[in-house]
Amino acid sequence: MPCSPQCPVNRGRGIAQQSTGKQPSQLDIADLDAALIGAFLDHLEHERGNSARTRNARLAAIHSLFRFAALSHPEHAALIQRVLAMPPKHSDRALITYLTEPEINALLDAPDQGTWIGRRDYALLLLAVQTGLRASELTGLKCGDLHLATGAHVSCHGKGRKDRVTPLTSGTVTTLNSWLSERAGQPASPLFPASRGRALSRDALEHRLNKYLTIATKDCPSLTEKKVTLHVLRHTAAMRLLHAGVDTSVIALWLGHESVETTQIYLHADLQLKEQALARTTPLDSTPGRYQPPDTTLAFLQAL
């Protein structure tokens, strides 16, 4: 099974060539044993300076190749299983960035709602913070994706070609109703158009966000300590749900996560929840007490 130049293993062609004496186009699956794959991964980390996360991404690509090879070349089953058994490297998970309520308010106050662009951007930012939609989902919204009557929600075509429905708060509904009336577009028209009528691009969205962050920082200096992107607004929506006591399985559905495990990052990031859990524990130096039932409980038990 020769490897193509696009094969992920060919990114370590120097190592493979040095080990086997073959050009990348001449490599066969039998040449790519676990030892060579391990040497390639170490090369990425120690010589090219890649992070453990990048190393694991390359290993995942190699695993995909070998899972395909397992179906096509069962004669190499033992070699393939040894490669597939190679575990990812543990890496420290960075805490996510999200906005606090004062920071959210400062950001939403930044657009000039006396202008058409300001009203559009305010509606867009409010929707992003409340729903946690991805940037691609926001830019892809059509006027017909909003349903603002009873059971108000927004429908979007999400990651992995999956449709998702996200509820809207009454405040967001009021803002979007006003925007839809002003927008006066057809159901298939972009909900948030540029000045020429086309949907805003992701770059345009990032540009608008950065502009408003500059304004918001004047009233909320803590924003200077954070690198705020559109994805941070998605994290912010998730953290607001978590603070409101929403279960992580519901948050996973809300955000369109494939697995609840993905949503666990918000639990790790939330110091406030950890402090609340600590406050509910018994202090180590407290004296164990004895339960004293009230008189009503004693009377009830005696009557049994």
Q: Are 98 and 269 in contact (CB under 8 A)?
A: yes
DSSP one-letter code for 199: B
Q: Which of 55, 234, 235, 240 is catalytic?
A: 234
Is 257 among the residues known to form the active site? yes
90 is catalytic: no
134 is a catalytic site residue: yes
Q: Of these residues, 134, 183, 208, 235, which one is catalytic?
A: 134
Would you call 98 a catalytic residue per the annotation? no
Q: Indicate if 43 belongs to the active site.
A: no
Candidate list 22, 82, 153, 159, residue with the active-site label: 159
In the set 22, 82, 157, 257, the catalytic residue is: 257
d(CA 142, CA 118): 19
Residue 105 tokens, joined: 């308010």
| CA atoms within a 13 Å half-sphere pointing along the CA-CB vector of 231 | 3
Cβ–Cβ under 8 Å, residues 52 and 90:
yes
With CA atoms as reference, report the closest residue to 234 among 302, 110, 163, 132: 132
Instruction: Scan for tokens 């290993």, then name that residue.
Output: 59
Q: Give the span between the Cα atoms of 237 and 104, in whole angstroms.
A: 10
State the maximum Cα–Cα separation within the chain, in Å, rounded to a whole number. 91
CA nearest 95: which of 240, 249, 235? 235
Q: Is 275 exposed, middle or buried (0-12, 13-18, 19+ CB in 10 A)?
A: exposed
Cα separation values, 281 from 244, 269, 277, 285, Å: 21, 20, 7, 12
User: What single-letter amino acid sits at 83?
Assistant: V
Among 162, 211, 218, 231, the one annotated catalytic: 231
The token pair at 46 is: 């120690």
Residue 39 · residue 19 · CB < 8 Å: yes
Catalytic, 226? Answer no
- Would you name the residues annotated as active-site residues? 134, 159, 231, 234, 257, 266
